[in-house]
């Protein structure tokens, strides 16, 4: 919000016809909350909300809702190019992030997305909350909801935790990652990034490499990509390949060189040491040699293959710095697109046309 002192009673703004400026006057200050473009006004007045009050996963999501989020994210991304990166549809909405696990990108991305939509945001620090005193997850969330919260964004180490919360509160619940299960907004931003490089994902070949067993990102990616008609191959050591992964529609391979040969996109996953209770491979060095993405290995793929990573990157393990920082890499674009996708999700859950 911009504060401009204005002692007069009225303010006259001369602008182009395509722009409208909303202002309020208080205590001699003009508060410029937002610059609204006509295309945004039309979008806000016409876009329908999602069919459910929550976003818990991509498994089972209707193709209509999936495409609606992706289409809305495209409109939201345009806000990044404007002088004032804020629009008003979630003004007076209250959003809380409740993360039981560490996060940099996801938490910050949600906060940025909410603020660009003019919502108020708060973050609950578990170390200083009643959780440290033994309060249950449901009690914590019910108490937060009782404070007038409209949406709760949850990350939890246990699969299904956001689903349990969603059944017990009326506020919208967004899954920011639950155990090994799903990370729906990461899956959506991955898909959105791919669609910026290819108009359609039908019959495109996406290779997901790494710790498939412990990756909630892999599962969300697979569900979303398969719904859009993409071919998905998962690659990794046998010890990091979950049972029955083929039931998702993905093809399993243990040979990265063979898998990436005709890949259109390579999404490299992080080795999640914090989730591994036992050693799943002899050494980091051996893993990097057999499954790490380096320039030599990448040269065997298509020249226009796109390299992705959900972050954070273990450089020299999952991929070399040369690959991570190459022209084929869109890792930072994924981060940017994460804000646009999360803006779309928040808007469609809290501000869309009912």
Q: What is the pLDDT of residues 305-338, one digit of tens each?
A: 999 999 999 999 999 999 999 999 999 999 999 9
Segment 186-199 mean pLDDT: 97
Maximum C-alpha span of the chain: 73
Token pair belonging to 316: 């020299």
Q: Which of 28-42, 72-86, 334-348 shows the lowest per-residue confidence on average (mean pLDDT)?
A: 28-42
Q: What is the pLDDT of residue 1?
A: 40
Name 96's bridge partners: 122, 152
Query: Cα separation of 228 and 246, whole Å?
Result: 17
Q: pLDDT tens digit string along 125-148?
A: 776 667 767 889 999 999 999 999
pLDDT confidence of residue 105: 92
Q: How many residues does the chain have?
A: 354
Query: If you count DSSP H runs as helices and E runs as strands, how many of each does the chain have, helices first?
Result: 12, 12
pLDDT tens track for 291-304 = 999 999 999 999 99
Rounded to the nearest 10 degrees, what angle do helices 184-197 and 216-227 cross at? 50
Question: Which of the four pLDDT bands, split at 50, 70 and 90, describes residue 272?
Answer: confident
* Distance between CA atoms of residues 303 and 293, nearest Å: 15
pLDDT score of 198: 96
pLDDT of residue 34: 44
Q: pLDDT tens digits for 90-104? A: 999 999 999 999 888
| pLDDT given for residue 27 in this prediction | 43
20-24, 179-183, 208-212: which range is least confident on average? 20-24
Does 2 score more than 50 pLDDT? no
Whether 183 shows a pLDDT value over 80: the answer reads yes
Q: In sequence order, which residues have a C-beta less than 8 Å from that of residue 91 and are 6 or more positions away?
A: 33, 118, 119
Sheet with 306-308, strands from edge to edge, namely: 251-253, 231-235, 205-209, 265-268, 306-308
Select from 188, 180, 193, 253 the least CA-distant residue to 219: 180
Whole-number Å distance between alpha carbons of 274 and 238: 19
User: Which tokens hold the place of 138?
Assistant: 């449901």
What are the structural domains of the chain?
1-46 (no CATH), 51-182 (3.40.50.1370), 184-334 (3.40.50.1370)
The four Cα atoms 92, 177, 229, 307 give a dihedral, to 10 degrees, of 100
Instruction: For the chain, give the mean pLDDT.
Output: 87
Q: Are strands 94-99 and 151-156 parallel, antiparallel or unpaired?
A: parallel
pLDDT band at 28 (very low <50, low <70, confident <90, very high): very low
Top pLDDT among 346 and 21 is at 346
Per-residue pLDDT at 13 exceeds 90: no
Q: Helices (DSSP H) in the chain: which residue ranges?
A: 38-46, 63-77, 105-116, 137-145, 161-168, 184-197, 216-227, 256-259, 284-291, 295-298, 321-324, 331-350
Per-residue pLDDT tens digits for 221-258? 999 999 999 999 999 999 999 999 999 999 999 999 99
């Amino acid at each position: 919000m911009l504060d401009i002192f204005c002692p007069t009673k009225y303010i006259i703004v001369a602008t182009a016809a395509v722009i409208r400026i909303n202002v309020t006057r208080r205590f001699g200050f003009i508060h410029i909350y937002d610059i609204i473009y006509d295309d945004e006004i039309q979008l806000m007045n016409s876009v329908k909300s999602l069919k459910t009050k929550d976003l818990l996963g991509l498994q089972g999501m209707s193709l209509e809702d999936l495409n609606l989020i992706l289409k809305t994210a495209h409109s939201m991304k345009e806000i990044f190019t404007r002088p004032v990166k804020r629009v008003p549809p979630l003004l007076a909405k209250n959003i809380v992030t409740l993360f039981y696990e560490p996060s940099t990108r996801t938490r910050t991305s949600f906060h940025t997305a909410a603020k660009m939509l003019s919502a108020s945001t708060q973050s609950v620090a578990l170390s200083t909350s009643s959780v440290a005193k033994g309060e249950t997850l449901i009690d914590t969330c019910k108490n937060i909801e009782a404070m007038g919260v409209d949406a709760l964004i949850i990350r939890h180490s246990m699969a299904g935790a956001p689903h349990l919360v969603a059944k017990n509160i009326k506020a919208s619940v967004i899954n920011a990652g639950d155990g090994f299960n799903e990370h729906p907004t990461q899956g959506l931003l991955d898909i959105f990034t791919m669609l910026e490089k290819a108009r359609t994902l039908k019959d495109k070949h996406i290779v997901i490499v790494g710790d498939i067993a412990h990756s909630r990102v892999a599962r969300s990616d697979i569900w979303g990509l398969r719904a859009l008609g993409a071919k998905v191959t998962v690659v990794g050591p046998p010890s990091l390949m979950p049972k029955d992964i083929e039931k998702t529609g993905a093809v399993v391979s243990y040979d990265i060189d063979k898998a990436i040969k005709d890949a259109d996109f390579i999404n490299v996953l992080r080795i999640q040491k914090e989730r591994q209770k036992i050693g799943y491979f002899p050494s980091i060095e051996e893993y990097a040699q057999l499954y790490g993405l380096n320039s030599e290995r990448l040269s065997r793929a298509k020249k226009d293959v796109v390299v992705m990573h959900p972050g954070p990157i273990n450089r020299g393990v999952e991929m070399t710095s040369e690959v991570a920082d190459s022209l084929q890499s869109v890792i930072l674009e994924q981060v940017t697109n994460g804000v646009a996708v999360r803006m779309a999700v928040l808007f469609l859950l809290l501000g869309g046309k009912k």
